[in-house]
Amino acid sequence: MNRAKRPLWLSGLGLATLLLFGTGAVLALTVSPPDVNQGELIRIMYAHVSVAWVCFLAVGISALFGGLYLWRGRAGHDAWAVASAEGALLFAALTIVGGMTYSKPTLGVYWTWDAKLTLTALLLALLVGYFIVRALIDDRERQGRVSAVIMLVVLASLPFNYLAAEWFRTLHPAKSINLDGSGVTMEPAFVRILLFNTAVAVLAFSYFLLERVRLGRLESARQDEAEREGPAGEAVHV
Amino acid sequence: MSDLVLVLAVAHRDARQELRSRAVTVATVFFSGITVVILSFALGPDPDDLRRAAPGILWVALAFAGVISAAQSYQNELAEGAFEQLLISPIPRAAIYVGKLLANWLTMFLLGLLLLAAIVILFDLPLGRGGPLLAATLASGTLGFSLIATFYAALTANLRARESLLPVLMFPVVVPVLLAAVRATETLLGPGQATGNPALAGPWLQLLVGFDLAYLVVCTAIFHFVVEE
The alpha carbon of residue B215 and the mean position of all alpha carbons in its chain are separated, in whole angstroms, by: 14
Q: State mean pLDDT over A69-74.
A: 87
d(CA B181, CA B61): 13
Mean pLDDT calculated for residue range B206-216 = 91
Contact A122 B215 (CB under 8 A): no
Best A153, A158, A168 member to test B by mutation, with max B CBs in 10 Å, is A153
Which residues on A lie below 8 Å from B155 (Cβ)? 133, 146, 149-150
Does A26 touch chain B if contact means CB atoms closer than 8 Å? no
- Cα distance between the two ends of chain B: 23
The reply to whether A63 touches chain B by the CB within 8 Å rule is: no
- Going by C-alpha positions, the residue among B223, B229, B88 that lies closest to residue B152 is B223
Average of pLDDT values for A78-104? Answer: 90
Indicate yes or no: CB of A161 within 8 angstroms of CB of B172.
yes
Handedness of CA A89, A96, A191, A186 (dihedral sign): positive
Phi-psi region for residue A183, left (φ > 0), alpha (ψ -120 to 50) or beta? left
Return the residue of B nearest to A129 by Cα.
B169
- pLDDT of residue A130 exceeding 80, the answer is yes
**Closest listed residue to residue A93, CA positions, set A63, A62, A125, A116:** A125
- A52 close to A205: Cβ distance less than 8 angstroms: no
Has residue A236 got a pLDDT over 60? no
- Cβ(B222)–Cβ(A70) below 8 Å: yes
Note whether residue A64 is domain-resident: yes
* ipTM of this complex: 0.84
More confident residue, B159 or B191: B159
- The CA distance from A99 to A48, in Å, is 7
Q: What is the pLDDT of residue B151?
A: 92
Q: Does any domain span residue A15?
A: no
The answer to whether position A151 is within a domain reads: yes
Q: Are A70 and B222 within 8 A, CB to CB?
A: yes
How many domains, chain A? 1
**Residue B101 contacts residue B20 (beta carbons within 8 Å):** no
For chain B, the residue count is 229
Tell me the three state secondary structure of residue B197. Answer: coil
Longest alpha-carbon distance in chain B? 57
Range B112-120 average pLDDT: 90
pLDDT band at B194 (very low <50, low <70, confident <90, very high): very low
In a domain, A31, yes or no: no
Work out the percent of chain A whose per-residue pLDDT is above 70. Answer: 87
Q: Is residue A30 part of a domain?
A: no
Q: Give me the percent of chain B exceeding a pLDDT of 90.
A: 24
List all residues 6 or more positions away from B10 whose beta carbon is below 8 Å from its beta carbon. B86, B91, B95, B96, B98, B99, B100, B102, B103
Would A1 be classed as within a structural domain?
Answer: no
Give chain A positions within 8 Å (CB) of B211: 160
Q: Which of B168, B180, B203 sits opposite A129 (nearest CB)?
A: B168
Please give the Cα distance from B122 to A54 (Å, whole number). Answer: 49
Residue-level pLDDT at B138: 92
pTM: 0.83
SS3 at position B185 = helix
- pLDDT for the residue numbered B129: 65
Q: Indicate the average pLDDT of chain B.
A: 84
Q: Where are the beta strands (DSSP E) in B10-121?
A: none
- Within a domain: A52: yes
Higher pLDDT, B47 or B199: B47
At B149-184, the pLDDT tens digits run: 999 988 888 788 777 888 888 999 998 899 889 888
DSSP string, B120-153: HHHTT---TT-HHHHHHHHHHHHHHHHHHHHHHH
| Residue A17 within any structural domain of the chain | no
* pLDDT tens-place string over residues A21-62: 888 888 878 877 777 777 777 888 888 888 888 999 999 999
User: Which of B194, B179, B195 minimizes the C-alpha distance to B137?
Assistant: B179
CA dihedral A85, A87, A92, A94 (to 10 degrees): 160
Residue type, A86: E
Name the residue range of residue A208's domain.
Answer: 46-173+184-220
- SS3 assignment for chain A: CHHHCCCHHHHHHHHHHHHHHHHHHHHHHHHCCCECCCECCHHHHHHHHHHHHHHHHHHHHHHHHHHHHHHHCCHHHHHHHHHHHHHHHHHHHHHHHHHHHHHHHHHCCCCCCCHHHHHHHHHHHHHHHHHHHHHHCCCHHHHHHHHHHHHHHHHHHHHHHHHHHHHHCCCCCCCCEECCCCEECCCHHHHHHHHHHHHHHHHHHHHHHHHHHHHHHHHHHHHHHHHHHCCCCCCCCC
Terminal Cα distance for chain A, rounded: 34
